[in-house]
Amino acid sequence: MTSGENPYAASSSDPIQPSPLTVRRQLLPVAVALLVASILHIFGGLFYFVFVYSVIAAPDANPQGQHAMLVFSMYFGISMLYCLLLISGAFSMMRQGSHLWAVTTCILALIPFLGPCYFLAVPFGIWGLMLLRRPEIRNSFARA
C-alpha cells in the first residue's frame, strides 16, 4: 500500500448498495405486522374500557370486583401507550428514518408481557432485528 491510498476508503470490490425501494420492500412486512398487532391491541384495550365502564356503571355492581377491573384497566392503558411507541417505530422503519429507533422498536416488540398480540409481535420483532443487522439495510438508513 502506498502512502497516498486511503485505507478506509471503499474498495471497488464492495457490493452494490441496494436501492432504498428494495430495502423498504424488505422492511415493509415487519413494519406492517407490528402496526397491525399494535392497532389490534389498542382496539382490544378500548373494548375492555367500554366493558369495564358498563360493569362499573351498572346499578347492581359488586364493589369488590371493581378494584381488579381498575387494575386491569391501568395495565391496558400502559400497554396502549406502549403500542403507540411501536406504531411510531414501525412508521420510522417504513420511512427509513432512524436506524436506532427501528432497532429499539424491534427490541420493544420482544417484551412479552407488554407486547401487543404476543404471538405476532415476538416473531416479527426477531425478524426485524435480523433484517436491521444487515449492512446494506443499515447503510440505507444512513443515506436516507
Q: How many domains, in total, are found in the chain?
A: 1
What are the pLDDT digits (tens) for 109-141?
Answer: 888 776 666 777 888 999 999 999 988 888 888
Residue span of the structural domain in which 27 resides? 20-143
Is position 78 within any domain?
yes
| pTM of the predicted protein model | 0.76
What are the pLDDT digits (tens) for 26-66?
Answer: 999 999 999 998 898 889 888 888 888 787 777 777 767 67
Identify whether the C-beta of residue 110 lies closer than 8 Å to the C-beta of residue 123.
Answer: no
Is position 14 within any domain?
no
Is position 10 within any domain?
no
Task: Name the band, by pLDDT with cuts 50, 70 and 90, for residue 11.
Answer: low
pLDDT of residue 117: 67
pLDDT of residue 5: 67
Half-sphere exposure of 60 (CA within 13 A, CB side): 0
Is position 92 within any domain?
yes
Is position 82 within any domain?
yes
Is position 2 within any domain?
no
Is position 4 within any domain?
no
Is the pLDDT confidence value at 15 over 60? no
Identify whether the C-beta of residue 102 lies closer than 8 Å to the C-beta of residue 89.
Answer: yes
**What CA–CA distance (Å, rounded) separates 117 from 121?**
6
C-alpha cell at 79: 400497554
